[in-house]
Amino acid sequence: MNFLQFMMANRQQVLDLTLEHITLAGGATLLAALVGIPLGILITRVPQLSKLVLGGANIIQTIPSLALFGFLIPAPWIGARASRLAILALVLYALLPLIRNTYAGIRSVDPGVVEAGRAMGLTDRQLLFQVELPLASGVIVAGVRIATVLSIGLATIAAAIGAGGLGEFIFRGLAMVNNNVILAGAVPAALLALFADFLLGRLERRLGSLHLKS
């Protein structure tokens, strides 16, 4: 039986695990964006915190993923369900690109433009939402794109703690020494990552060229 035949024979399970995978990676990226983007904004306002926050997010990234999943198991409530635990671990990994890109994006806005806005009497909030965030949106979406691709890849490891997703096939295939089974997890995961990268890449280019129409 070749790989395609295996996929066809198990299409219902492939589909279920792919959906589970999307839920894990998508949910984690969404949560990470809800935390990471405001944190990125915060450290442009309170620069004293930037070293701490960026450093912390950096350190999390250096923890081996399998170890991080393990560390989190004793956590109350979170540890009770494998999917919660997997999402939390993925959120922690996705934070760095989101925080860093939000911070870098806002910092890269032309200071002359920001000062013009301030001098015209924009409040801090107006400056943020009408000037800084729109001008930084291309860079921020680039961060979301990195975080998404990262999460889709890492979510395969979530199967190690029983959180499901396409990693199930990969780990099962490894145990069975069966390449078809491994590929049934790896190929859809890779396609998913490429597809997300493509979509977000288009959005990023559109936002990045918002003001460069000519």
Partner 1 sequence: MTEIPHYRSALETPAIEFDHASFRVNGRALLQDLTLSVKQGETLVLLGRSGSGKTTTLKLINRLLLPTAGEVRVNGIRTSEWDSIRLRRSIGYVIQDGGLFPHFTVERNIALVPQIENWPRARVKARVRELLAIVGLNEDLALRYPSQLSGGQRQRIGVARALAADPPILILDEAFGALDPITRSEMQKEFRALQQRMRKAVIFVTHDLREALFLADRIALMEEGHLIVDLAAAEFSRSPDPLVRAYMEAFSGLPNPEKIEMGS
The residues that touch partner 1, with contacts defined as CB under 8 A, are 110, 112-113, 115-123, 126, 130-131, 134-135, 210-214
Q: Which CA distances in Å does 42 have to 100, 105, 112, 149?
A: 12, 13, 21, 25
Query: Least separation, in Å, of the C-beta of 30 and partner 1?
Result: 25
CA 9/CA 14 separation, integer angstroms: 10
Query: Least separation, in Å, of the C-beta of 42 and partner 1?
Result: 22
Nearer to partner 1, 122 or 160 (CB): 122
Query: Least separation, in Å, of the C-beta of 117 and partner 1?
Result: 7
Nearer to partner 1, 78 or 114 (CB): 114
Rounded to 10 degrees, the C-alpha dihedral 19/155/92/96 comes to -100
Nearer to partner 1, 142 or 150 (CB): 142
Q: Which sign, positive or negative, has the C-alpha torsion 134, 136, 140, 142? A: positive
DSSP type of residue 121? T
Query: Least separation, in Å, of the C-beta of 211 and partner 1?
Result: 4
Query: Least separation, in Å, of the C-beta of 109 and partner 1?
Result: 10
Spacing of C-alpha 11 from chain mean position = 27
DSSP code per residue over 21-80: HHHHHHHHHHHHHHHHHHHHHHHHHSGGGHHHHHHHHHHHHHS-HHHHHHHHTTSTTGGG
Nearer to partner 1, 20 or 204 (CB): 204
Nearer to partner 1, 113 or 194 (CB): 113
